[in-house]
Amino acid sequence: MSAHLGQVQKRYVLAFRQYLEKPDEVALLRAYELGRAALGDGLGVLEMATVHARAMATVLDRPLADAERARLVDAQRNFFVEALSPFELAHRASREANTVLRLLNDMLEGQAKRIAYALHDEAGQLLAFVHLAVARAASDLPPEKVGELNAVQGMLNQVDERLRNLSHELRPPVLEDLGLSPALELLADGVSKRWGLEVTVKAALNHHVPATVETTVYRITQEALTNAAKHARATRAEVDLRQTPHKIVCSVRDDGIGFDDTARRRRSGLGLVEIKERVAALGGVLRVGPNKDRGTDLTVEIPLES
Protein backbone atom coordinates (compact mmCIF):
# COMPACT_ATOMS: atom_id res chain seq x y z
CA MET A 1 0.00 0.00 0.00
CA SER A 2 1.39 3.43 -0.90
CA ALA A 3 1.92 5.95 1.90
CA HIS A 4 -0.79 8.02 0.32
CA LEU A 5 -3.36 5.26 0.26
CA GLY A 6 -2.33 4.39 3.83
CA GLN A 7 -3.24 7.92 4.92
CA VAL A 8 -6.65 7.71 3.27
CA GLN A 9 -7.15 4.29 4.85
CA LYS A 10 -6.38 5.61 8.32
CA ARG A 11 -8.72 8.57 8.01
CA TYR A 12 -11.41 6.38 6.48
CA VAL A 13 -11.36 3.87 9.34
CA LEU A 14 -11.48 6.71 11.87
CA ALA A 15 -14.39 8.47 10.16
CA PHE A 16 -16.21 5.16 9.67
CA ARG A 17 -15.91 4.31 13.37
CA GLN A 18 -17.17 7.79 14.25
CA TYR A 19 -20.14 7.27 11.97
CA LEU A 20 -20.95 3.90 13.55
CA GLU A 21 -20.88 5.49 17.00
CA LYS A 22 -22.96 8.46 15.94
CA PRO A 23 -24.61 8.04 12.53
CA ASP A 24 -25.38 11.68 11.80
CA GLU A 25 -24.99 14.13 8.94
CA VAL A 26 -21.68 15.44 10.33
CA ALA A 27 -20.18 11.99 9.89
CA LEU A 28 -21.73 11.60 6.44
CA LEU A 29 -20.28 14.91 5.26
CA ARG A 30 -16.95 13.68 6.61
CA ALA A 31 -17.28 10.59 4.40
CA TYR A 32 -18.13 12.81 1.43
CA GLU A 33 -15.16 15.10 2.06
CA LEU A 34 -12.89 12.09 2.41
CA GLY A 35 -14.01 10.80 -0.97
CA ARG A 36 -13.69 14.26 -2.49
CA ALA A 37 -10.12 14.62 -1.26
CA ALA A 38 -9.24 11.09 -2.41
CA LEU A 39 -10.61 11.91 -5.87
CA GLY A 40 -8.51 15.05 -5.92
CA ASP A 41 -5.45 13.00 -4.97
CA GLY A 42 -6.00 10.75 -7.94
CA LEU A 43 -7.44 7.70 -6.19
CA GLY A 44 -9.89 5.59 -8.17
CA VAL A 45 -13.12 3.79 -7.39
CA LEU A 46 -11.39 0.43 -7.00
CA GLU A 47 -8.98 1.87 -4.45
CA MET A 48 -11.91 3.34 -2.56
CA ALA A 49 -13.65 -0.04 -2.59
CA THR A 50 -10.51 -1.61 -1.18
CA VAL A 51 -10.24 1.07 1.48
CA HIS A 52 -13.86 0.43 2.44
CA ALA A 53 -13.42 -3.35 2.53
CA ARG A 54 -10.39 -2.99 4.84
CA ALA A 55 -12.35 -0.62 7.08
CA MET A 56 -15.12 -3.22 7.26
CA ALA A 57 -12.60 -5.86 8.24
CA THR A 58 -11.39 -3.71 11.14
CA VAL A 59 -14.89 -3.31 12.59
CA LEU A 60 -15.73 -6.97 12.04
CA ASP A 61 -12.88 -8.10 14.26
CA ARG A 62 -15.28 -9.45 16.88
CA PRO A 63 -18.50 -11.45 16.73
CA LEU A 64 -21.61 -9.26 16.35
CA ALA A 65 -25.14 -9.78 17.59
CA ASP A 66 -27.78 -10.02 14.85
CA ALA A 67 -29.25 -6.56 15.51
CA GLU A 68 -25.82 -5.01 15.54
CA ARG A 69 -24.91 -6.80 12.34
CA ALA A 70 -28.07 -5.55 10.60
CA ARG A 71 -27.31 -2.01 11.72
CA LEU A 72 -23.76 -2.31 10.43
CA VAL A 73 -24.97 -3.47 7.02
CA ASP A 74 -27.10 -0.33 6.63
CA ALA A 75 -24.55 1.98 8.11
CA GLN A 76 -21.66 0.81 5.97
CA ARG A 77 -23.75 1.23 2.82
CA ASN A 78 -24.70 4.82 3.71
CA PHE A 79 -21.13 5.69 4.54
CA PHE A 80 -19.62 4.06 1.47
CA VAL A 81 -22.15 5.65 -0.90
CA GLU A 82 -21.33 9.08 0.55
CA ALA A 83 -17.61 8.49 0.10
CA LEU A 84 -18.20 7.41 -3.50
CA SER A 85 -20.54 10.26 -4.43
CA PRO A 86 -17.70 12.56 -5.61
CA PHE A 87 -16.64 9.76 -7.97
CA GLU A 88 -20.17 9.75 -9.38
CA LEU A 89 -19.68 13.46 -10.16
CA ALA A 90 -16.41 12.71 -11.91
CA HIS A 91 -17.99 9.84 -13.81
CA ARG A 92 -20.84 12.02 -15.05
CA ALA A 93 -18.41 14.76 -16.04
CA SER A 94 -16.34 12.39 -18.15
CA ARG A 95 -19.46 10.92 -19.76
CA GLU A 96 -20.61 14.40 -20.69
CA ALA A 97 -17.15 15.31 -21.96
CA ASN A 98 -17.14 12.20 -24.16
CA THR A 99 -20.42 13.17 -25.74
CA VAL A 100 -19.13 16.66 -26.39
CA LEU A 101 -15.91 15.25 -27.85
CA ARG A 102 -17.88 13.04 -30.21
CA LEU A 103 -20.03 15.95 -31.37
CA LEU A 104 -16.92 18.02 -31.86
CA ASN A 105 -15.30 15.26 -33.89
CA ASP A 106 -18.35 14.97 -36.10
CA MET A 107 -18.46 18.72 -36.53
CA LEU A 108 -14.80 18.84 -37.52
CA GLU A 109 -15.32 15.98 -39.95
CA GLY A 110 -18.27 17.82 -41.46
CA GLN A 111 -16.15 20.91 -41.86
CA ALA A 112 -13.31 18.92 -43.39
CA LYS A 113 -15.79 17.44 -45.87
CA ARG A 114 -17.10 20.84 -46.88
CA ILE A 115 -13.61 22.27 -47.28
CA ALA A 116 -12.52 19.20 -49.22
CA TYR A 117 -15.49 19.64 -51.52
CA ALA A 118 -14.82 23.35 -51.98
CA LEU A 119 -11.17 22.65 -52.81
CA HIS A 120 -11.75 19.71 -55.07
CA ASP A 121 -14.92 20.61 -56.92
CA GLU A 122 -15.37 24.33 -56.72
CA ALA A 123 -11.79 25.54 -56.82
CA GLY A 124 -10.95 22.71 -59.22
CA GLN A 125 -13.63 23.85 -61.62
CA LEU A 126 -12.51 27.46 -61.48
CA LEU A 127 -9.00 26.34 -62.27
CA ALA A 128 -10.26 24.40 -65.25
CA PHE A 129 -11.81 27.59 -66.59
CA VAL A 130 -8.56 29.45 -66.03
CA HIS A 131 -6.75 26.72 -67.95
CA LEU A 132 -9.12 27.14 -70.88
CA ALA A 133 -8.82 30.92 -70.81
CA VAL A 134 -5.04 30.70 -70.76
CA ALA A 135 -5.08 28.24 -73.64
CA ARG A 136 -7.31 30.57 -75.63
CA ALA A 137 -5.05 33.52 -74.90
CA ALA A 138 -2.06 31.46 -75.96
CA SER A 139 -3.55 30.74 -79.36
CA ASP A 140 -3.71 34.49 -80.11
CA LEU A 141 -0.18 35.24 -79.01
CA PRO A 142 2.98 35.43 -81.09
CA PRO A 143 5.14 32.32 -80.54
CA GLU A 144 7.84 34.15 -78.51
CA LYS A 145 5.24 35.08 -75.88
CA VAL A 146 3.72 31.59 -75.65
CA GLY A 147 6.63 30.42 -73.53
CA GLU A 148 5.56 32.71 -70.70
CA LEU A 149 2.04 31.37 -70.80
CA ASN A 150 3.39 27.83 -70.73
CA ALA A 151 5.14 28.72 -67.50
CA VAL A 152 1.83 30.05 -66.16
CA GLN A 153 0.16 26.81 -67.14
CA GLY A 154 2.86 24.87 -65.36
CA MET A 155 2.21 26.82 -62.19
CA LEU A 156 -1.53 26.33 -62.57
CA ASN A 157 -0.96 22.61 -62.79
CA GLN A 158 0.99 22.76 -59.56
CA VAL A 159 -1.84 24.68 -57.89
CA ASP A 160 -4.27 22.09 -59.19
CA GLU A 161 -2.24 19.22 -57.82
CA ARG A 162 -1.77 20.95 -54.47
CA LEU A 163 -5.52 21.51 -54.17
CA ARG A 164 -6.23 17.90 -55.03
CA ASN A 165 -3.77 16.66 -52.44
CA LEU A 166 -5.19 18.97 -49.80
CA SER A 167 -8.70 17.89 -50.57
CA HIS A 168 -7.67 14.27 -50.44
CA GLU A 169 -5.91 14.75 -47.12
CA LEU A 170 -9.02 16.32 -45.62
CA ARG A 171 -11.43 13.68 -46.79
CA PRO A 172 -10.66 11.11 -49.48
CA PRO A 173 -13.31 11.69 -52.17
CA VAL A 174 -13.49 7.93 -52.74
CA LEU A 175 -15.07 7.56 -49.28
CA GLU A 176 -17.71 10.05 -50.24
CA ASP A 177 -18.41 8.41 -53.58
CA LEU A 178 -18.20 4.69 -52.72
CA GLY A 179 -18.19 4.16 -48.97
CA LEU A 180 -15.59 2.52 -46.74
CA SER A 181 -15.36 -1.10 -48.00
CA PRO A 182 -14.96 -0.28 -51.71
CA ALA A 183 -12.63 2.57 -50.80
CA LEU A 184 -10.38 0.13 -48.95
CA GLU A 185 -10.39 -2.26 -51.90
CA LEU A 186 -9.43 0.57 -54.21
CA LEU A 187 -6.71 1.58 -51.80
CA ALA A 188 -5.38 -1.98 -51.68
CA ASP A 189 -5.46 -2.13 -55.46
CA GLY A 190 -3.49 1.10 -55.69
CA VAL A 191 -0.87 -0.10 -53.21
CA SER A 192 -0.55 -3.41 -55.07
CA LYS A 193 0.01 -1.69 -58.38
CA ARG A 194 2.36 0.91 -57.02
CA TRP A 195 4.51 -1.18 -54.71
CA GLY A 196 3.95 -4.73 -55.88
CA LEU A 197 2.53 -5.76 -52.51
CA GLU A 198 -0.10 -8.46 -52.61
CA VAL A 199 -3.06 -7.18 -50.59
CA THR A 200 -6.28 -8.98 -49.74
CA VAL A 201 -9.22 -7.14 -48.25
CA LYS A 202 -11.93 -8.73 -46.14
CA ALA A 203 -14.56 -6.19 -45.24
CA ALA A 204 -17.80 -7.03 -43.50
CA LEU A 205 -19.80 -3.91 -42.71
CA ASN A 206 -23.50 -4.07 -42.08
CA HIS A 207 -24.32 -0.96 -40.09
CA HIS A 208 -23.89 2.69 -40.75
CA VAL A 209 -20.45 3.97 -39.82
CA PRO A 210 -20.00 7.67 -38.93
CA ALA A 211 -17.90 9.69 -41.37
CA THR A 212 -15.27 10.42 -38.72
CA VAL A 213 -14.74 6.72 -38.09
CA GLU A 214 -14.63 5.96 -41.84
CA THR A 215 -11.95 8.53 -42.46
CA THR A 216 -9.91 7.34 -39.50
CA VAL A 217 -10.07 3.69 -40.53
CA TYR A 218 -9.18 4.63 -44.10
CA ARG A 219 -6.21 6.74 -43.02
CA ILE A 220 -4.88 4.06 -40.69
CA THR A 221 -5.17 1.37 -43.32
CA GLN A 222 -3.43 3.65 -45.79
CA GLU A 223 -0.63 4.31 -43.33
CA ALA A 224 -0.24 0.66 -42.41
CA LEU A 225 -0.17 -0.53 -46.04
CA THR A 226 2.23 2.20 -47.06
CA ASN A 227 4.51 1.26 -44.22
CA ALA A 228 4.28 -2.43 -45.07
CA ALA A 229 5.23 -1.78 -48.68
CA LYS A 230 7.72 1.03 -48.36
CA HIS A 231 9.55 0.37 -45.13
CA ALA A 232 8.79 -3.10 -43.84
CA ARG A 233 9.60 -4.77 -47.18
CA ALA A 234 6.51 -6.93 -46.90
CA THR A 235 5.35 -9.07 -49.79
CA ARG A 236 1.83 -9.75 -48.57
CA ALA A 237 -0.69 -7.86 -46.48
CA GLU A 238 -4.19 -8.51 -45.33
CA VAL A 239 -6.83 -5.97 -44.37
CA ASP A 240 -9.57 -7.35 -42.16
CA LEU A 241 -12.48 -5.06 -41.34
CA ARG A 242 -15.21 -6.31 -39.01
CA GLN A 243 -18.12 -4.70 -37.30
CA THR A 244 -20.29 -5.52 -34.33
CA PRO A 245 -23.22 -3.37 -33.23
CA HIS A 246 -20.91 -1.64 -30.77
CA LYS A 247 -17.57 -1.35 -32.45
CA ILE A 248 -15.58 -1.49 -35.63
CA VAL A 249 -12.34 -3.45 -35.73
CA CYS A 250 -9.77 -3.11 -38.48
CA SER A 251 -6.60 -5.18 -38.64
CA VAL A 252 -3.79 -4.77 -41.11
CA ARG A 253 -1.33 -7.67 -41.01
CA ASP A 254 1.81 -7.95 -43.09
CA ASP A 255 4.85 -10.21 -43.38
CA GLY A 256 7.40 -7.42 -43.26
CA ILE A 257 10.12 -6.43 -40.81
CA GLY A 258 8.10 -4.15 -38.54
CA PHE A 259 6.68 -0.70 -38.20
CA ASP A 260 8.98 2.18 -38.96
CA ASP A 261 7.92 5.30 -37.18
CA THR A 262 11.01 7.44 -37.29
CA ALA A 263 10.59 11.18 -37.48
CA ARG A 264 12.29 11.06 -40.86
CA ARG A 265 9.19 9.73 -42.58
CA ARG A 266 6.54 11.26 -40.33
CA ARG A 267 6.27 14.11 -42.79
CA SER A 268 4.63 12.07 -45.49
CA GLY A 269 2.00 10.01 -43.72
CA LEU A 270 0.06 10.14 -40.49
CA GLY A 271 2.64 8.48 -38.27
CA LEU A 272 1.88 6.24 -35.33
CA VAL A 273 1.59 9.10 -32.87
CA GLU A 274 -1.05 10.87 -34.87
CA ILE A 275 -2.89 7.62 -35.53
CA LYS A 276 -3.00 6.99 -31.79
CA GLU A 277 -4.33 10.47 -31.15
CA ARG A 278 -7.05 10.12 -33.76
CA VAL A 279 -8.12 6.77 -32.37
CA ALA A 280 -8.07 8.04 -28.80
CA ALA A 281 -10.22 11.02 -29.76
CA LEU A 282 -12.82 8.52 -30.92
CA GLY A 283 -12.54 6.53 -27.69
CA GLY A 284 -10.81 3.63 -29.43
CA VAL A 285 -7.63 1.65 -28.95
CA LEU A 286 -4.71 0.89 -31.23
CA ARG A 287 -2.49 -2.15 -30.92
CA VAL A 288 0.67 -2.65 -32.87
CA GLY A 289 2.34 -5.97 -32.33
CA PRO A 290 3.97 -8.89 -34.09
CA ASN A 291 1.94 -10.91 -36.53
CA LYS A 292 1.67 -14.67 -35.95
CA ASP A 293 4.85 -15.91 -37.64
CA ARG A 294 6.40 -12.84 -39.11
CA GLY A 295 5.54 -9.22 -39.69
CA THR A 296 3.28 -6.71 -38.04
CA ASP A 297 -0.31 -6.76 -36.85
CA LEU A 298 -1.81 -3.31 -36.50
CA THR A 299 -5.31 -3.49 -35.08
CA VAL A 300 -7.60 -0.61 -34.30
CA GLU A 301 -10.88 -0.82 -32.42
CA ILE A 302 -13.28 2.10 -32.43
CA PRO A 303 -16.54 2.07 -30.46
CA LEU A 304 -19.73 2.90 -32.34
CA GLU A 305 -22.67 4.62 -30.76
CA SER A 306 -25.49 2.12 -30.56
Residue 91 near other proteins by CB under 8 A: yes
Count of residues binding other proteins (CB under 8 A)?
Answer: 23
Provide the minimum distance between the beta carbon of 84 and other proteins in the complex, in angstroms, as a whole number.
Answer: 9
Among 86, 256, 258, 295, binds other proteins (CB under 8 A): 86
Q: For other proteins, which residue of 5, 59, 81, 281 counts as binding (CB under 8 A)? A: 81
Nearer to other proteins, 78 or 192 (CB): 78
Cβ nearer to other proteins, comparing 11 with 168:
11
Query: Amino acid identity of 171?
Result: R
Q: Which residue among 7, 18, 85, 235 contacts other proteins (CB under 8 A)? A: 85
Specify the residue, 100 or 151, whose C-beta has the smaller distance to other proteins: 100
> Smallest gap, in angstroms, from Cβ of residue 235 to other proteins?
49
Q: Is 89 in the site for other proteins (CB under 8 A)?
A: yes
In this chain, which stretch among 14-22, 85-93, 116-124, 249-257 interacts with other proteins, using CB under 8 A? 85-93
Q: At its nearest, how many Å lie between other proteins and the CB of residue 43?
A: 11
Q: Evaluate whether 211 touches 176 at the Cβ level (below 8 Å).
A: no
Provide the minimum distance between the beta carbon of 101 and other proteins in the complex, in angstroms, as a whole number: 13
Site residues for other proteins, 94-153, by CB under 8 A, read 94, 96-97
Q: What DSSP string describes 1-63?
A: --HHHHHHHHHHHHHHHHHHHS-SHHHHHHHHHHHHHHHHTT--HHHHHHHHHHHHHHHTSS-
* Nearer to other proteins (CB atom), residue 90 or residue 186: 90
Beta-carbon contacts of 174 under 8 Å, excluding residues fewer than 6 positions away, are 182, 183, 186, 187
Q: Which stretch binds other proteins (CB under 8 A): 44-52, 75-83, 110-118, 252-260?
A: 75-83
> Binder to other proteins among 82, 254, 255, 301 (CB under 8 A)?
82
Compose the 20-49 pattern: x for residues touching other proteins by CB under 8 A, - for all others.
----xxx-xx--x---x--xx---------
d(CA 79, CA 83): 6
Applying CB under 8 A, which residues contact other proteins?
Answer: 24-26, 28-29, 32, 36, 39-40, 78, 81-82, 85-86, 88-94, 96-97
